[in-house]
Structure 1
């Protein structure tokens, strides 16, 4: 009995001691760091900077927040710290949506700072916003900020990180200079082409075909046009093997002998998720215009022109494919 009583007292005392032990504290390691400290987002589009923080031996979970956001000369920068309405996904976009309404039902409006840190990863995101013209863009020196990293073991600061935004380029590929915002040329080029010109020479993307972006209104449409060297329209129906119904993720297609128009949701592509309307990575939309003909020597020739692109700004956009030196040969030899 005495032995049992002693054991019981000892166990009770040990249990009591364990209850009084301090909780294990998480660690904040000196080898934690940002691998990128200067960020150059393009205004007018959502830009995510991820996989830029090395945790080292710091214990997770960690909390991150931006502190002391300021201009390069040290002035406050409320344009980056105040919240503004931005569009975010609340559902999963997969490219099978049957209407703009179905797409918009998967998105919502939330208020966020235009430059924001993800609170548990340390990633940064620059949000697209209609009022991005108030943001200091290069060649201005931009902004400086610090990041506080913390857990129950303490906190650490990463100082003098920089945001140096580039001016808006509402579409890619772009003919606009990222610093001045001015056009360096009037057009861009298709991604690839295999066609014969009427004069008997192959057409190439550098010299023979150019693509012109033009904003014509404040709606939500995308129009494709084709013109020859004298700016006369080329009938889209001549590209008769084009999958017009699935050329873009658009709706209410209207096609005549001068243009093809779709109602669309912006941006294009809507996300980086690969769909039938994008390149394999999902990073760009892709359109392919096709037709076939019998070439000399009874050779069956499959002709095509591809264009990979993005459009970030909601508007009525026209993409005109200008065959500036020779128009395609659609007839058989």
Structure 2
């Protein structure tokens, strides 16, 4: 092949690849001008709830309250400009307080009080705050009637700033109207005034209990339940009283599983009471455990006994009580039989 032929072949090759090189160059240049992906903030995004009414003294999570409407996540939420009913800045909603925060999951299988307490720590938080990227509100149990105003006061007004890289929006004049603190459930307190309604608290249920004197079936209204705080420790005591307020020996409830009645420790059982060391609140979190209702929202007690009825037929009887205690202390729950005493003896 002579030199002329080589030159002609090289020219053809150069002409052939030149459009390809040009196309690649143009694509590279165009790439610089293509629009980059940007976060979007849908103008239809909204809070589905604008008035929040938690009960003071209880850690309450208020969730499923924001509809992002296809806005790019994560969004960032911030409470701004909290005001009291006079329209003035409310420092009590901004100031950090000591609150108990779980750092490890509570399971209901903890073997000691120290093991439970080792799973939570004290942190500084505003009493009412919004979770940064979910929009959920949380009222901490440290909030009480001595710090925050509650109904019937109109409460607080606040705004929420919501942002992402695509935009910013303010949701104005949202409301916080807490109910007054009620340290236990069930209770006889008016949720707005806090006054005593003088309402009877009864067991959740009674089964097969027969009156000793009347020989009639006992009903929930035949019992009063009293829940009271008597000290500042960490204990829970159960007492049973007959119609004239004499103590009923807990051993008469001979089918009761005292070791798993509550998630408590160092049980002390006497002829007049049963006492445990416990962590508060009760239940500690809203998950099902052997000590709670099926939904985990309340502690569940079962007191039972057996006796022989007519014809030597075995009868199993007792009662149930579901409850909450939100405030730390030495608490007593007293069960008083107001109409007739249960018959524990065999026929």
Shorter chain as normaliser: what TM range? over 0.9
Q: Residues 116 and 126 of structure 1 are in contact (CA less than 8 Å); yes or no, is this contact kept in structure 2?
A: yes
CA RMSD of aligned residues (A): 1.4
- The CA distance in 2 between the partners of 1:97 and 1:219, in whole Å, is 20
1:258 aligns with 2:265: no
Q: 1:130 to 1:31 in 2, by over 3 A?
A: closer
- The structural deviation recorded for 1:10 is 3.0
In the other structure, the counterpart of 1:331 is 345
Structure 1 residue runs of 4 or more that deviate by more than 3 Å after TM superposition? 19-22
Q: 1:41 aligns with which of 42, 54, 68?
A: 54
- The CA distance in 2 between the partners of 1:19 and 1:216, in whole Å, is 74
Alignment of 1:126-275 (within 5 A): 126-129=139-142, 132-185=145-198, 187-194=200-207, 195-199=209-213, 200-206=215-221, 208-275=222-289
Q: Which runs of 5+ in 1 are unaligned?
A: none
1:307 aligns with 2:321: yes
- The CA distance in 1 between the partners of 2:101 and 2:145, in whole Å, is 17
Q: How many residues align?
A: 332
Q: 1:287 aligns with which of 293, 301, 323?
A: 301
Q: Which runs of 5+ in 2 are unaligned?
A: 1-13
In the other structure, the counterpart of 1:103 is 116
- The CA distance in 2 between the partners of 1:60 and 1:142, in whole Å, is 32
Q: Residues 283 and 297 of structure 2 are in contact (CA less than 8 Å); yes or no, is this contact kept in structure 1?
A: yes
Q: What TM-score results when the alignment is normalised by the length of structure 1?
A: 0.96
Give SS of 2:272's match. Answer: coil
- The structural deviation recorded for 1:197 is 1.0
- The structural deviation recorded for 1:20 is 4.4
Q: Residues 186 and 212 of structure 1 are in contact (CA less than 8 Å); yes or no, is this contact kept in structure 2?
A: no
1:56 aligns with 2:61: no
Tell me which structure has the larger Cα radius of gyration: 2
- The structural deviation recorded for 1:130 is 6.2
Q: 1:133 to 1:197 in 2, by over 3 A?
A: same
Q: Residues 187 and 213 of structure 1 are in contact (CA less than 8 Å); yes or no, is this contact kept in structure 2?
A: no
- The CA distance in 2 between the partners of 1:131 and 1:272, in whole Å, is 21
